[in-house]
Amino acid sequence: MSCNEHTSASGHPTTMAATAHPATVLRDTYQRQRADGPAAILAIGTANPANRIEQDEFTDWYFRVTKSDHLTKLKAKLKKISDKSGIRKRHFYHTEETIGGHPEIIDRAAPSLGARQGITTDAAHNLAADVASRAIVAWGRPAADITHLVVSTNAGAHEPGADLRLAGLLGLRPAVRRTLLYLHGCSAGLAALRVAKDIAENNRGARVLVACTQASILLFSPPDDDLIDLLVAMALFGDGAGAVIVGADPTGPIERPVFHMVSASQTTLPGTEHAVVTNFSESGLANTNLSVEVPMLVRGSIERCLADSLAPLGLPDASNGGWNGLFWALHPGGRAILDSYEAALGLEPRKLAASRHVLSEYGNMSGATVIFVLDEIRRRRRRQDDSDKDCQWGVMSGLGPGLTIETLVLHATGSQDGSY
């Protein structure tokens, strides 16, 4: 039988051209492959490493483990930064013992990338498997029903990579389709969710597991008078992992969407490539630049970026005070970043309560942080006293190197069956 023939119901071969025009076949195939409705977040899981350090103890801990107690001025500066950070505690894969066992990590002249990744590879991937398992349990369907896996991480530059490792730990099918996003900074979680949304909406029946795990040991370094940005990083970043199940056209009663993912956008502010910089080197993520300009750039640009993202949807904008009519899941890059969002958009203080709470409890866990914020919003909306529970529309937003602004517009489900 030739390649343009098929067998009819009666068993006689016939040509495709005799039954349908190619354009019709292409259109029908395209429509069958796509979902009918928008992607939705079906379940969320979060977790942190066991090692916990209170923020008011961190400065003494950091200068002790880096053998830098003699740098009294830098120690006082870090103490001041930490006190103003809005952070209460953080969690880390690394401990004082692991740093002590790898003196190359606090020796700038010694290569330490292998040691850093050795500390976190197993720990970070195991934690990612733990949170993914939690999300799968909350989802209510077996892991074998996962069709796609999107992993975002900075822990372990290996091939095969973290995606294959996680698929094995979870017992996913060999045919699961994997995507690995490496680095991406603080916008990594949002970038992974954007990819998952596109997959879910363009592959009927797809169920996408997003896992994001980040390790701050790559940035860990002893204090230096010439590297003040490093002190900021030491005061802000922590470790954690988050997982989300994404899918369209939920099957009831098992699948109960939490948020619909209405639209996704990415904008890079021209001329800001210098604002957030980290470079991979033998010493980890070195030559870090976390520019003091970032809060100012946010204040000057974020309203226009968000208005452009929401305009096609016909949602409220700042012209009538509409920003306070939305709920907000902002990546808490730092207290100054949140303050800039609040000032630029005229947000009431309660609007960023979830982001500030996550920052306080965990610090900035890079790309995983926004998943913690989303989970915190989910919990708060369940409470009868939550002042934002009547806001149906919301915005997820975060910043990454570039300076890149990732935005997701969300719609909170109004019922347990996820109807909309």
The number of domains in the chain is 2
pLDDT above 90 for 135:
yes
pLDDT tens profile 313-348: 887 554 455 799 999 999 999 999 999 999 999 999
Give the predicted TM-score (pTM) of the model.
0.90
Query: Residue 419 pLDDT > 60, yes or no?
Result: no
Same domain, 239 and 293: no
If residue 154 lies in a helix (H) or strand (E), which one and from where to where?
A: none
Q: Are residues 290 and 222 in the same domain?
A: no
Considering the domain boundaries, does residue 175 fall inside one? yes
First vs last C-alpha separation in the chain: 48
Q: Among all residues, which ones are annotated catalytic?
A: 186
* Domain harbouring 365, CATH code: 3.40.47.10
Q: Are residues 234 and 92 in the same domain?
A: yes
418 within a domain of the structure (yes/no): no
Whether 310 has a pLDDT exceeding 60, the answer reads yes
Q: Is residue 263 part of a domain?
A: yes
Q: Is residue 139 part of a domain?
A: yes
At 415, the pLDDT band (50, 70, 90 cuts) reads: very low
Does residue 225 share a domain with residue 80? yes
More confident position, 294 or 41: 41
The verdict on 193 and 315 lying in the same domain is no
Q: What's the token pair of residue 398?
A: 């975060």
**pLDDT of the residue at 417:** 40
* 412 in Cβ contact with 259 (< 8 Å): yes
Pick from 395, 347, 401, 389: which is nearest to 374 by CA?
395
Is residue 86 left, alpha or beta, with left meaning phi > 0 and alpha meaning psi from -120 to 50?
A: left
Flag the least confident range among 14-23, 58-67, 194-203, 356-365.
Answer: 14-23
In this structure, is residue 60 part of a structural domain? yes
Q: What is the pLDDT of residues 139-175, one digit of tens each?
A: 999 999 999 999 999 887 777 889 999 999 999 999 9
DSSP string over 110-136? S--HHHHHHHHHHHHHHHHHHHHHHHH
- pLDDT tens-digit readout, 229-287: 889 899 999 999 999 999 999 998 999 999 999 999 999 888 887 777 777 777 776 66
* Residue 7 forms part of a structural domain: no
The helix (H) or strand (E) run that includes residue 58 is helix 55-65
* Contact (CB, 8 A) for 163 and 151: yes
Residues 182, 323: one domain? no
State the amino acid at position 113 in one-letter form.
L
Q: Which of 223, 248, 273 is the last residue of a domain?
A: 248
Look at residue 191 in the predicted model and tell me its pLDDT. 96
Q: Are 153 and 124 in contact (CB under 8 A)?
A: yes
Is 189 contained in some domain?
yes
pLDDT tens digits, 8-32: 344 444 444 446 678 877 777 777 8
Q: Is residue 391 part of a domain?
A: yes
At 291 the pLDDT is 59
Per-residue pLDDT band at 385 (split at 50, 70, 90): low
Say what the pLDDT of residue 307 is: 87
Which residue range(s) make up the domain with 401?
A: 259-412
- 247 or 292: which carries more pLDDT confidence? 247
pLDDT of residue 321: 55
Sheet containing strand 148-153, strands side by side = 177-182, 148-153, 207-214, 240-248, 39-47, 259-268, 404-412, 393-400, 327-330
Domain finish residue from 222, 248, 274: 248
- Regarding predicted confidence, which is higher, 230 or 58? 58
Pairwise CA distance, residues 106 & 103, whole Å: 6
Report which of residues 314 and 369 the model is more confident about: 369
Candidates 119, 140, 146; CA nearest to 49 is 119
Mark which of 186, 215, 248 sits at the end of a domain: 248
Query: How much is the pLDDT for 1?
Result: 46
